[in-house]
Structures are given as structure tokens and as C-alpha cells.
Amino acid sequence: MRVLPGALSPLEVAKRLERVMEEGKFLGVSRIYVPSRYRVLLHPDDEEMFRLSADSLREEFTRYLHSCAEKAGYEPSGPFQIVFEASDAIRRGRFQVEAGASHGLQLLVREGYQKGKIFLCAEAGETILGRGEDAEVRITDPRVSHQHAAIFFKDGKPRIRDLESKNGTVHSGHEIQESALSDGDLVEIGDTILEVVWKGSGER
């Protein structure tokens, strides 16, 4: 970590970020996830100092969190994002780190063989829904294909795509090939109905 003039050390911030990441970990279907969004609150004078090297520091902090998560076997719930904000409530030389509730998108089984179960889809990469053992969201429904559908994020917003499944994918009452998802939407695959739980980046 580079050393900046003043009482506040970027190394202290990095260690606090690591601790907050550790405290915020949560269990998914088969992986342990950690929050991906962090807010560093600083005294206005310290925030001004950090702002001079904000891009470099953000890159260093991101690499550090990636390294810590990889060593611990954690999966970030999305791309790491770190913002610096000034707050008059913070004393000079002190700081506060908050983790955003970036727990990805959740699928709640409303109807079907696994009613009540909650699945997590991280905001990085593509999550496969299906009956096969290689599906991240495994649905034990005989009318669900081995690789039935995929959930992915485009421009920060979730979408679902049918993977040429035998019985099709229904979103909000309509059979689709690909569609945008919103909080509260219902997705039907086979005899299973899934409710989308996602608050979006603007509400986190």
C-alpha cells in the first residue's frame, strides 16, 4: 500500500475492509459469498487527501480484497466496488467502513418440489438453473431440463435466458427466450415457480 501524508494510513483502511468483508460473509447453495460493495466514510480533510489518489487506492484495495477472498475460498457476490465519502460525523484521522447488502439475486421457490428453498445467484458470471449436477441452482423437478435456463447480469441488471429447454421458461405468464428480471417477478420452469428477490444497486 502506498503511504500518503497525514495521520490516516491506507493500510489501516485495507485491513478494516478485510475485516468487514469477513464479517459480512454468508452461505449460498454451495459457496460462501462476501459482499462486493464497500463505502469508506472519512473526515472531509482525509477524504480530500484520498481523492488525490482515489483511482490507485481503489485499485489496490480491490486487489487486496480479491487476494483475501481467494485465500479464504470466498466468492464475491459481484465485482468489488469501493467508494470514498466525506462525513462531518467522522473525526480527522478516523474512518468507518460499511458493506453494502450486495447479496446478489435470490430465487425463492414458491411452488414445486423444493417449496420454501432459497437459491442465490451471484452478480458475477452466469448462473445455470437446471436438474443436472453441474447446475448452480439445482431444481429437483423431472420436468426441468438438465440445463434449463441461465441468469446473468447486463449493465448491472439481471436477465434470464432459456437454454433450449424441453418445456420452456415462463416469465410473468409469458414463455420467453430472454427477458429482463425485476424484484417480485415469477419465473416458471417445469412445475416449479420461482420468485425473484432483487433490490437493485440503487436501493443497496
Burial class of 124 by CB neighbour count within 10 A (0 to 12, 13 to 18, 19+): middle
| Residues 6+ away with beta carbon under 8 Å from 63 | none
Nearest C-alpha neighbor of 119 from the set 24, 31, 202: 31
| Residues 6+ away with beta carbon under 8 Å from 24 | 34, 35, 99
DSSP H/E element including 193: strand 192-197
Please name every residue paired with 189 in a beta bridge, in sequence order, or none if there are none.
169, 192
Nearest C-alpha neighbor of 160 from the set 133, 121, 113: 121
Nearest C-alpha neighbor of 162 from the set 146, 171, 149: 149
Highest mean pLDDT among 105-109, 124-128, 190-194: 190-194
Nearest C-alpha neighbor of 151 from the set 174, 166, 167, 171: 171
pLDDT tens-place string over residues 16-52: 999 999 988 877 666 788 888 888 989 888 888 888 8
Per-residue confidence (pLDDT) for residue 123, from 0 to 100 = 67
Question: pTM here?
Answer: 0.53
Quick one: DSSP state of residue 82? Answer: E
| Residues 6+ away with beta carbon under 8 Å from 152 | 125, 126, 127, 158, 159, 161
- Residue 107 CA to residue 63 CA, distance in Å, equals 30
DSSP H/E element including 118: strand 118-121
Per-residue confidence (pLDDT) for residue 5, from 0 to 100 = 45
Per-residue confidence (pLDDT) for residue 71, from 0 to 100 = 95
Burial class of 26 by CB neighbour count within 10 A (0 to 12, 13 to 18, 19+): middle
Per-residue confidence (pLDDT) for residue 89, from 0 to 100 = 87
pLDDT tier for residue 100 given thresholds of 50, 70 and 90: low
pLDDT tens-place string over residues 111-144: 998 988 878 786 667 889 999 988 888 999 999 9
Phi-psi map region of 131: left, alpha, beta (phi>0 left; psi -120 to 50 alpha): alpha
Per-residue confidence (pLDDT) for residue 120, from 0 to 100 = 76
